[in-house]
Amino acid sequence: MYAQKPLTAYKLPEKQWQETAQPQKNMNFGKCRDHTRRVESQTLSHLVRLRADILRSSHSEQQIREYYQTLYAAWGPQHWWPARARFEVIVGTYLTQNTSWNNVEAALRNLRGANVLSVHAIRKIPVAELERLIRPAGYFRQKAARLKTFVAFLDRQYGGSLSRMFHRPTEKLREELLQLNGVGPETADSILLYGGQREVFVVDAYARRLLARHGILPENTAYEEVRSLMERALSAATAILPSAVPMQPLPAHEPSPVSSLRRSPVAQIYNDGHGLIVAVGKRFCLKSKPHCDGCPLQKFLP
């Protein structure tokens, strides 16, 4: 049997222990210091980017407010939505999908002439007859089915009452509308802004095109990002509402019972702002070839 050595026999001399441990200590300290420097550098870079984004966003918001003021001063209010009742607005938001407003007006004339431009009438009318009446708006089978779906939703959730529906909080109602077949963000927001007088900006192809050509946002920017920017910009415009009447007003429509409804100052600016952008898109900022000469916004082009 070998005699076991006491544990103390295996201890390194104090000096040798210090020499052995010191490099490891220094190495760990160096790693920690390098990591701290990397974190500090990343944090600084993030703050710099964040500040740049804030400044860029603030500048974009100011640009949009200037566009609004310029267009309003040039053309005045556009009197959207051109409708006699709120349900007509809702029908119009469905019919205007993938077609021109002239085609929508033809379909609305058919519905009005047949005396079926109401919740009750759309509920009762046979689908084939509804399809025939709205045929000028195109995609008439899809749109007829979607109008029936909306009325069924209104009956199920709100007892067929638009007043009860529009008493629903904006975000909750928006979520419900987006669950319906054929209702995307643009259609839902059109119903909310023009039918319910809610403070929701409508983003469409005209707005995307204008923002892209003026170097504010790429045309394929997500809908909610565009909407958020427009709402931040225009909600701050209430303090600088144009007061002067345009020398030569250029309204898109005559005032209607719906366009004349009472709404908050912010909702009115969203209403006028969207209508003015549509006017620019139809007259000057065309999809294939823009006609910039004569456009009130030409001076803002990059």
- Which SS3 state, helix, strand or coil, does residue 174 take? helix
For range 43-54, the mean pLDDT:
46
Q: Is the pLDDT of residue 91 over 90?
A: yes
pLDDT tens profile 114-136:
999 999 999 999 999 999 999 99
The pLDDT tens digits for 175-196 are 999 999 999 999 999 999 999 9
Per domain, the residue ranges of the chain are: 71-80+202-300, 86-195
**What pLDDT is stored for residue 45 in this prediction?**
46
Question: pTM of this prediction?
Answer: 0.80
Distance of CA 220 to the CA centre of its chain: 13
Measuring CA to CA, which residue among 290, 227, 297, 278 is closest to residue 100?
278
Interatomic CA distance for residues 76 and 251, integer angstroms: 7
Q: What pLDDT is attached to residue 39?
A: 59
Mean pLDDT of the chain: 86
Residue 80 has pLDDT above 80, yes or no: yes
pLDDT at 132: 98
Higher pLDDT, 51 or 214: 214
| Residue 248 in this model has a pLDDT that exceeds 80 | no
Highest mean pLDDT among 47-56, 70-79, 141-150, 286-295: 141-150
Give dist(CA 144, CA 134) in Å, integer. Answer: 8
CATH architecture observed for domain 86-195: Orthogonal Bundle (1.10)
Question: Mean pLDDT, to the nearest integer, of 259-287?
Answer: 95
Q: Decide: residue 279, CB within 10 A, 0-12 exposed, 13-18 middle, 19+ buried.
A: buried
Q: Please write the tens of the pLDDT for every residue from 3-14.
A: 554 545 445 455
Between residues 31 and 184, the one the model is more confident about: 184
Phi, psi torsion values for 108, nearest 5 degrees: -65, -40
Determine if the peptide bond prior to 81 is cis (ω within 30°): yes
| Token reading at 194 | 């023009």
The pLDDT value given to residue 47: 42
| DSSP states along 51-88 | HHHHHHHHHHHHHHHHHHHHHHHHH--------SSHHH
pLDDT at 40 over 80: no
pLDDT at 24: 57
- Binning pLDDT at 50, 70 and 90, where does residue 46 land? very low
Residue 239: per-residue pLDDT: 54
Cα–Cα distance for residue pair 242/73, rounded to 1 Å: 7
CA atoms within 13 A on the CB side of 166: 16
**pLDDT at residue 18, as a whole number:** 53
Structure confidence at residue 100 (pLDDT): 93
The answer, yes or no, to whether residue 36 has pLDDT greater than 70, is: no
